[in-house]
Structure 1
Amino acid sequence: MKLYLLFLLVAAATVASPGPGVMLSLNNALRLGWRGSLPGIAGVAAGAAVVAGISATSLGLLLAQSALAFTVIQLLGAGYLVWLGIKLWRAPAQDWADAGQAPVLSPSRRFLEGLTLQFTNPKAIVFFLSILPQFVDPARPAGPQLVLLVLSYAGLVLLIHSLYAWAAQSVRQFLGSARGRRWFQRGSGLVFIGFGLALARAGR
């Protein structure tokens, strides 16, 4: 694949752009530290791999062509994002220093939360459905190439989200006050709600 480097650049730009996955990783890092954020990041990466893989199958084609299926998943995804936003908005200000003593989701629950988050935006399937084929060499077997592209995308999610989580440590002191923590959590909640409302209103 001569365009593999270009795919990596496009995928990296997509992964690095602000979105629900990035916000989830940042929140987990601020609450639980870099290591505590890793299960959620792994879930986001696994979800991305599944979504990308599905996009290369008939299910991805169905969602791209069926207005009803697309709309149902779109609305379910929008509702889930809004729910996450409300949950963050209503949560008490978390003391980052004492995060290990506060009740938190288990690593497996954090993984599932990240995994589920990747299924909230059906446009991701359409994105992969339209982008991935452009980087597949028709003169070579498509299967191995698709596996490489999907795994590369998931690897970029792990790398970039881990860097985001590591960088979040530097703002812990800035958000050391209860007011600062509440500002960040409510701001994050509004971002999730905004993503959900935008998704619900988005056209095909």
Structure 2
Amino acid sequence: MDITSFLLYCIIATFTPGPTNIVILSTVHNHGTNRAITYTYGATIGFGLLLATSAILNTILITFIPKITFFMQIIGSGFMLYLAYLISRIDTSNPVASQSGSFLSGILMQFLNPKVVLFTLTVIPTFIMPNYSSSAAMTISVMVITIIGFSAFMTWVLFGSIFKKFLQKHFKIVNVLMAISLVYASIMIWL
């Protein structure tokens, strides 16, 4: 497995602005750090649950339909290219104004967030399953990806106001660099 592409994909997909990160940022600004951390714990649990569900479902699919890996790699690469396109065109002028910031809303947001759902459904079959098949490898992968997600969420909590100002000031350059990195990760799946 190309660890660089895997880590790039996970970091870009979790650290870039999306519904969860914008809600965290909004919660920090509107309700304070403690409430944002509570929301982040819920978001992390929801993220981990989605990853575990994806690993189980993809393992079942690969067992019954061994040729599905190729198609999942195509879907994963296509999704990364789509994310690269979206990131390059992101508009930061309309952030989410207010959210409750509760633990439960953090969990639920993950199941309603298309970015997270698509990420969790593609990362396991695209990067892990072609190289590892044991349940231990799947478990470790889910844990590592969940930790990366938690790190991203906490970054948005701890550096929310600084990160928001930086993104607003340099958002186009940052987005282009992240989009290029996603294109690279998508290409590396096939090499």
User: Taking structure 1 as the reference length, what is the TM-score of the superposition?
Assistant: 0.57
Find the aligned partners of 2:135 and 2:49 in 1 and give their Cα distance: 19
Find the aligned partners of 2:133 and 2:166 in 1 and give their Cα distance: 41
Where structure 2 has 5 or more consecutive residues not aligned to the other structure, the ranges are: 28-35, 98-108
Task: Choose from 134, 151, 163 the match for 1:130.
Answer: 134
Indicate the structure (1 or 2) with the bigger Cα radius of gyration. Answer: 1
Task: Choose from 160, 163, 186 the match for 2:151.
Answer: 160
Task: Choose from 85, 92, 99 the match for 2:95.
Answer: 99
Find the aligned partners of 1:76 and 1:90 in 2 and give their Cα distance: 21
Find the aligned partners of 2:115 and 2:181 in 1 and give their Cα distance: 17
1:52 aligns with 2:48: no
State the percentage of identical aligned residues.
Answer: 10
8 Å CA contact retained: 1:31, 1:99: yes
8 Å CA contact retained: 1:25, 1:161: yes
In structure 2, relative to structure 1, the CA distance for the partners of 1:195 and 1:168 (3 Å cut) is farther
Where do 1:1-204 residues align within 5 Å?
A: 18-28=7-17, 31-34=22-25, 35=27, 44-54=47-57, 57-61=59-63, 66=66, 68-92=67-91, 94-95=92-93, 99-100=95-96, 107=109, 111-121=113-123, 122=125, 123-126=127-130, 129-130=133-134, 132=136, 149=139, 153=143, 156=147, 159-169=150-160, 170-177=162-169, 180-199=170-189, 201-202=190-191
Aligned length: 160
Find the aligned partners of 2:10 and 2:113 in 1 and give their Cα distance: 12
Q: Counterpart amino acid of 1:161?
A: A
Q: Counterpart amino acid of 1:174?
A: F
Where structure 1 has 5 or more consecutive residues not aligned to the other structure, the ranges are: 1-13, 102-106, 134-145
In structure 2, relative to structure 1, the CA distance for the partners of 1:171 and 1:48 (3 Å cut) is same
What RMSD in Å do the two structures reach over aligned CA positions?
A: 3.9
1:127 deviates by: 5.2
In structure 2, relative to structure 1, the CA distance for the partners of 1:48 and 1:75 (3 Å cut) is same
8 Å CA contact retained: 1:46, 1:115: no
